[in-house]
Amino acid sequence: MASGNKIIGHIFHTHMDLEIYISSKTVTQGLCGSYDNNRNNDLFNRFTNKTVNGSIDVNTVISWR
């Protein structure tokens, strides 16, 4: 991929393995934050557009389901 991201698939008789590599240039936002090694923006809730401080709540997980 031009962005530097890679997806590698291995197909076996009984299963398939996927390896996903995300470039540090890629801007992401998700349950685990912005993929920038900053724990302060982890546990991002998609519905409220806020990060959860402390323990994870069910609504944050459901927002990414």
- Of 16, 20, 38, nearest to 29 by C-alpha is 38
pTM over 0.85: no
Whether residue 40 lies inside any domain: the answer is yes
Quick one: pLDDT at residue 15?
A: 95
> What do you get for the CA distance between the two ends of the chain, in Å?
26
Domain range for 29? 6-63
Whether residue 13 lies inside any domain: the answer is yes
Q: Which amino acid is at 52?
A: V
- pLDDT tens, residue order, the chain (65 aa): 456 778 999 999 999 999 988 776 656 677 777 767 777 777 777 777 777 776 677 877 787 78
Give, in degrees to the nearest 5, the angle at Cα 36 between 52 and 48: 30
Whether residue 46 lies inside any domain: the answer is yes
Quick one: pLDDT at residue 40?
A: 76
Looking at the structure of the chain, the number of domains it has is 1
